[in-house]
Chain A
Amino acid sequence: MTRHVIAPVDELPPGTRKFLDIDGRPIAIFNIKGEFFGLLNRCPHQGAALCEGPLIGLAQSSNPGEIEYTKLGEIIRCPWHGWEFDIRTGQSYCDPKRFRARAYPVNVEPGSAVVKGPYVAETIAVSVESDYVVVDL
């Protein structure tokens, strides 16, 4: 497993996402309310660029007529067929048993640790003073 340095934390504020190719794999890194998550940018259903869809919430209903809208900004909706996945886990809400989006662990590391290694900087020059978003792949 290689740890890849993605961006300084302040370049990825909450609600934003960043797309990149790591070792030939299309990856998107999301900042959801200050927490970072990584997903393979490919829908397990028919292969669309999953992470380019809108961030939505989850509409759930315990009884007909009662609708709860939760997890606002934590669900990614595929740009093709609207399949919904939980960004935190990659879980599908359409067919959870058969389909799961590939999720990657993302962390924030201080510049001093990043400089020490064993990291690969994908997009940026690293400086010791900053914190960096790092994905394990």
Chain B
Amino acid sequence: MNVQFRAEPSASVSLKTAIADCDIHPARATKDELYPFLAKRWHSHLETYGIQAYHGMMEGPPYPKAQPNASRRDAWPPEGGPQGSSLSFMQKQLLDPYNVALGVLNPLATGQGLRNQDFAGALCAAINDWQIEKWTSKDKRLKASIVVANEDGIAGAAEIRKRAGDPNFVQVLLLSRNVEPLGQRRYWPIYEAAQEIGLPVGVHAFGFGGNPLTPSGWPSFYIEEMVGHAQCQQTALASLVLEGVFERYPKLKMVMIEAGFGWAPSLAWRLDKTFEKLHSEVPHLKRKPSEYIRDHIWWTTQPMEDPERRDHLFQTIEWIGWDKLLFATDYPHWDFDEPSRVLPAGVSDANREAFYLGNAKKLYGIA
């Protein structure tokens, strides 16, 4: 198809007020971009055996992604490579026009959730080094998330402690779909280490735990995966609460990333009501489930809830707390939220500032 594209990327607005973007996905321009951070033994392993997640013998994700690399079609960097792989283009298309003061990097396609635990750990460590080298050291607005080989909690905790005090990192990153629900004991060393070094743990949608997306099997469509992320996140959150993770790690802060937040009140109500009857099963819980959720959980906005009536949105946010929402675009992915369009009118200046910037700066400890 003969398409004449505009030479310059288009940003529809130029924001005066600074914002935080709490879900940016950096990508590798080439496979060997990681090699400087990876021992030779793993170059050979990667080329010989590839990367094996817990799902079947297949390349790529189990569902189609609507657009190439699930990304905006205007986000291919002019110098080549996949969307999200060029810092200069990210600056031009996202950071500068939208006045992003803090951008939190959440790399996907890392070494998380691989079957070979040693390889998983090596790849995650390489991704963490690569985030500093290619991104955070080159643009001070960007901060990285520590990715860890999460199925090996002890190795994951070691990687977290290795990064303690490094100002390049503001978060530990997990995914929502794992081998077991996220509250289970195999993951506890990760929470212990995160609490110890004082970073929140983000739980981003996706991951390959080898289980179907739904509890009753593999659905047919990508649209089912899009909404299924909320179900997976609910499973993760219920598990975290009910296993007593927040009782055990009372200073732990967690961020639910890219799975919506509109479902939070109803999950909490159901948990509370059931807890009244079944608290003898989980006597390690000292408070109602909803209290753990409201005290320990932050929520990124993309995909921002968009009910027909804006008062329904505001009621949901009031339950969650205006101090718990973190604005995110999900750049460069195709379901990108445009900052000036996501929040309806009728929000106080203080809440608006908290939503777009203040909450994120406070949570991530950015002055």
Q: Which residues of A contact B (CB under 8 A)?
A: 13, 15-19, 26, 41-42, 45-49, 52-55, 79-82
Contact = CB atoms under 8 A, between A and B. Distances in A.
B67 A82 contact: yes
B74 interface: yes
B338 interface: yes
Interface string B309-337: 00000000000000000000000001111
B334 A55 contact: no
A81 B335 contact: yes
A55 to B, nearest CB: 7
Contacts of B66: 82
Nearest to A78: B73
Interface residues of B, number: 21
- Residue with the highest number of chain B CB atoms closer than 10 Å, among A26, A55, A79: A79
Given A47-B12, A52-B74, A82-B66, A18 B341 contact: no
A52 B10 CA distance: 10
Contacts of B72: 48, 79-80
Interface of B: 1-6, 10, 12-13, 66-67, 72-74, 334-338, 340-341
A17 B334 contact: no
Contact of A15 (B1, B67, B334, B338): B1
Contacts of A19: 4-6
Top 7 A-B pairs ranked by shortest CB distance?
A: A79-B73, A47-B12, A46-B338, A49-B10, A16-B2, A46-B341, A79-B74
B73 A54 contact: yes
9 contacts: A16-B4, A18-B4, A41-B10, A42-B12, A46-B338, A49-B74, A52-B5, A79-B74, A80-B334
A36 B67 CA distance: 27
B4 A46 contact: no
Contacts of B73: 52-54, 79-80
